Every structure is written in C-alpha cells, then in structure tokens.
Chains A and B, each alone.
Chain A
Amino acid sequence: MPNPFSLLVSVRNWHELIFAFALVNLKQRYKQRYLRAAWAVINPLLTMAVFTVVFSKVAAIQSEGVPYPLFAFCAIVPWIFFSSSVGFAVSCLNSNFNLITRINFPKITVPLGSILATFFDFLISSALLAAMFALYGYPIGINALYAISVFMVHMMLTVGVCLMVSVLNVYFRDIQSAMPVILQVWMLASPVGYPVGMVGKGLLPYYFLNPMAGILDGYRKALLHNHAPDPLSFNIAAVISIAVFLLGYRVFKMSEKNIADIITP
C-alpha cells in the first residue's frame, strides 16, 4: 500500500512539471480558439440556461426557495469541474504517449497537470458564480465557509477518480469510450439540476452512495442557505471520497511501472 502522503512529496518535488503539463493542456485547449478562456464561462452558462428552461420552466421544479438559475449554477460549477477533470484525465496518459515511451519521469504528474488545467477553468467559473450572487443581491453568510471543507472532499474525489481512470485507460481503452455516457448518468444521479429534497425517501440511502450528491448538496447548504452540510449525506460523501482517493492512488502506483510497455497513442 503506497503511503498517500508520498503523493504530497511527489507534488512538492515535481510541481514545476505539473504546472508545465497544466500549461500545455490549456494551450492545447485554446489552440486556434478565438474565445480562449471564455469557454470556461460559456460552458457552465449554457448548461445553466438549458437547465433553467428544462427543469424550471418545463418541469417546473421547486428550487429550495432560491432563484433557479442561481440554485442550478451553485452545483453546475463544481459538477463541471469534476466532469471535465475526469473527461480530460481519462485520455491524458495516452495523449502523452510520446513522452512516456521516451523519457522516464513520474507519470502521476500527467493526470495532476490535467486536473490543474481544469482547476484554472474552475477558478474562472467560480468568479462568475460570485458575480451571480452579487447580481441577484443574494446574501452570503458566515457558514459559507463550510464550502471549503466541501471543496476538500470534492477535490479528493476528483483526484481519486482521475488517477484511476487515467491509468486504467492505458489497459482498457473501453473506459474512454464509456466515459461520456458514465458522466451523463452520473450527472443525472447527482443534484445538479434539481434539489435533493425531490429524491424519494426510499431511494435516499442509495442516492447518497454517490459522493457527488453529498458534495453538491453541501455546497448549496453552505452557499445558498448559510447552513452546515447535511451531516449524514456529507459524511458518507467524505468517507467514500477518501476511499476513492486512496484506491485511485494505489491503483495508479501499482500500474505505473507497466504503463510505458502497454500504452498506445
């Protein structure tokens, strides 16, 4: 079992390479795109617009007494950080085939750099979320600080899933093909467009096995309702996220040595 703190040591020793990979990813993403970083804003805004029409206007769901666009955006921003991190991470080792088969370096820097690039988009869209609060004149209370602990759990889950899918995709490219539909189902199984309150009581125990449920609801409790995250759902999310992180790191470390022999571009 690799010591999870050894990850911090790798990050410290190789932070320049992680940043370099993040920079390359961003450049690649903005290549010949005139709107560049604006895409970090356009994607969540379009999602919010679609959700507002479908969930709020067509399905007429209640949004915990919060204006629906703000309610949705509070979960869309962290959801997109998670889903695009995973979406980019799944093929990140494969797209660095050229480096991996020619130079020996710690492979973990590749998915970490990919996550860091998406984190940059997350920062931009979080600023937009703050602007939305100002636009609606929506008050933010002291308990919004709980969002920090929610973020730590969110990050654990993201890193764990990204490490796992990136290295498994070297062995089974099926993961890459399955990922769009997995992320779509995962989003529908998480309270992104609708409130947790709408989920039937009988379903809830299973519903909260999805750590994104407790995480997204936690963000909403903290930011929209000036309230601590719901203890049950958030604790389940925290435990599962930490387990996923440890498992992801372990799987990555175990498989790392074979990557260069198996990887295809």
Chain B
Amino acid sequence: MKAVVFEKTCKRFHKSEYFFSRSDYLWALNDVSFSVDRGEAVGITGPNGSGKTTLMRLIAGITRPTSGSVAVNGRVVPLIRVEGALNFNLSARENISLLAAVFGIKKKAVRKIFGDIVDFAGIRDMLDMQILKLSHGMISRLSFSIAVHIDSDILLIDEVLAVGDSSFQEQCFKKLSELKKQGKTIFFVSNDIESIKKACGRVIVMESGRIVSDGA
C-alpha cells in the first residue's frame, strides 16, 4: 500500500505579489515523481530553495500541484515550521486546543492527549502564560509535542529539531522511532545529513526543484 505517490508533479509560484499580473513564475517543483510505502521513513535533503518545503506542503494538501498529481492515503499531520502556526497572544493551553481543533480533533479526544502533550513538552508550569513570553526553544518543544501526539498516518517534520537542546532532541528521536514502530509514514526534512541518516532508511536529495538522488 502506497502512502504517497507523486506523478510528474510540478508546482510554480508567481514571482509578483500581485496575483492578476503577468509575471514570471518560480518553478519550485519540476517534474517530480516518486512513491513512498506505508511505514517508510524518508529523509529529504538538499540546498536551500531546492523545493523541500514545497514538497511537504503538497503532501499536506496545503497547496495543490500546478500540473501532475499528488495522491495521499491517510491522515497527514504536518510539522512544517509549525511553531509559526502557534498564536503568540494565546497561552500554551489555548494553543493546544486551537491547533487540535484546526487538525479536526474533537474536544473529547484532545482531553485524552492533553496531559501527554504537556509532559512531553515539559511546560506544565507555564501552561497559562502567553507563549510570547516563552523562549524559542520552549515554543518549538510545544509545537513538536502537539504534532506528534495527534493521531496521524503520515507525519511531516521540517527542520524542527534544530532548535531544541540535546536532551529534547534525544527525546524527539526516541518518539520518532516509537512512531515508526507503530507503522507511521514519516517524512523528515533537514540539511543535517547525520540526523537524517539516524532517523530514516531512505534519503531523497533535491536540487532546484528536481530529485537528483533517491535511495538508502
């Protein structure tokens, strides 16, 4: 069973900030084809601007391909710069309920995972503070913790692990291998080859919107 199939997928963006103007396009993805089996852990790497995040955003359904197709089987939880999805005026508690609601999780189900999220992030003392008063590291811990505790079939992780301290990173890798054992499909985007090799059995290397190598 395939979890994700890309077929001749292209994605372009307007270079202009005006939608209705004749402008050049930036081809963020150019004729990308690959497929990923359920339960696979895939690392994606490549220089800045090579299309890694666009690839993730297509899998997450945030954006649609300009041409070609993207097929996804299962529920995707994207952790794409997700700390940016938090609302800095709200407390950690409020952010957990808001993000869970955005992911379509019912309140009853949120109550079940709330304690786990809080403990994993280690923010029990700061639950009711506006998160703009928390440190950058604490905020990424919170966002990572929310995403991994939401029930998903496919998990997308984008550069998030670069920020936490080493004990939190250790905790994250432990959680990731646990999720892998549960049979979840994981995409892991990073520039850090070492951490990719640690977490993934397959590595896709991208360059200017194309896949240049795909293998173990």
A69–chain B nearest beta-carbon distance, Å:
37
Give every chain B residue within 8 A of A104 (Cβ-Cβ): 60-62, 76, 78
Q: Tell whether A14 is near chain B: CB-to-CB under 8 Å.
A: yes
Residues of chain B in range 85-138 having any CB-CB distance to chain A below 8 Å:
85-87, 89-90, 94, 97-99, 101-104, 106-107
**Which of B12-20, B38-46, B175-183, B188-196 touches A?**
B12-20
Residue in B60, B97, B104 whose Cβ sees the most chain A Cβ within 10 Å: B104
B209–chain A nearest beta-carbon distance, Å:
16
Residue in B17, B63, B94, B103 whose Cβ sees the most chain A Cβ within 10 Å: B63
Q: Which residue of B lies closest to A170 (CB)?
A: B19
Task: Indicate the size class of the contact surface on chain B.
Answer: 20 to 34
A27 touches B90 (CB 8 A): yes
Partner of B78, one of A17, A24, A28, A103: A103
Q: Tell whether A171 is near chain B: CB-to-CB under 8 Å.
A: yes
Task: Indicate the size class of the contact surface on chain A.
Answer: 20 to 34
Interface mask (B39-56 → A, CB under 8 Å = 1, otherwise 0): 000000000000000000
A105 touches B80 (CB 8 A): no
Chain B residues at the A interface, C-beta cutoff of 8 Å: 13-14, 17, 19-20, 57, 60-64, 76, 78, 80-82, 84-87, 89-90, 94, 97-99, 101-104, 106-107
Interface mask (A20-56 → B, CB under 8 Å = 1, otherwise 0): 1000100110010000000000000000000000000
A154 to B84 CA separation, bound complex (whole angstroms): 37
Give every chain B residue within 8 A of A100 (Cβ-Cβ): 62
B63 touches A260 (CB 8 A): yes
Partner of A102, one of B13, B19, B80, B101: B80
With A99-B85, A257-B64, A262-B19 known, 12 other A-B pairs at CB within 8 A are: A17-B102, A24-B94, A27-B90, A98-B87, A100-B62, A102-B62, A104-B60, A105-B102, A105-B103, A171-B20, A260-B62, A260-B63
Q: Which residue of B lies closest to A17 (CB)?
A: B101
A261 touches B13 (CB 8 A): yes
Q: Tell whether A177 is near chain B: CB-to-CB under 8 Å.
A: no
Give every chain A residue within 8 A of B107 (Cβ-Cβ): 16
B102 touches A103 (CB 8 A): yes
Q: List 30 A-B contacts (CB under 8 A).
A: A14-B104, A16-B101, A17-B101, A17-B104, A24-B90, A27-B89, A27-B94, A98-B87, A99-B85, A100-B62, A101-B62, A102-B78, A102-B80, A102-B82, A103-B60, A103-B99, A103-B102, A104-B60, A104-B76, A104-B78, A105-B103, A105-B104, A171-B19, A257-B64, A258-B19, A260-B63, A261-B14, A261-B63, A262-B14, A264-B17
Give every chain A residue within 8 A of B99 (Cβ-Cβ): 103
If the complex has contacts A14-B104, A17-B104, A257-B64, are A98 and B89 also in contact, measured as CB distance less than 8 A? no
Across the A-B interface, the 3 shortest Cβ-Cβ residue pairs: A104-B61, A20-B101, A17-B101
A106–chain B nearest beta-carbon distance, Å:
9
Residues of chain A in range 54-109 having any CB-CB distance to chain B below 8 Å:
98-105
If the complex has contacts A98-B84, A102-B78, are A28 and B89 also in contact, measured as CB distance less than 8 A? yes
B177–chain A nearest beta-carbon distance, Å:
25
Partner of A103, one of B62, B64, B90: B62
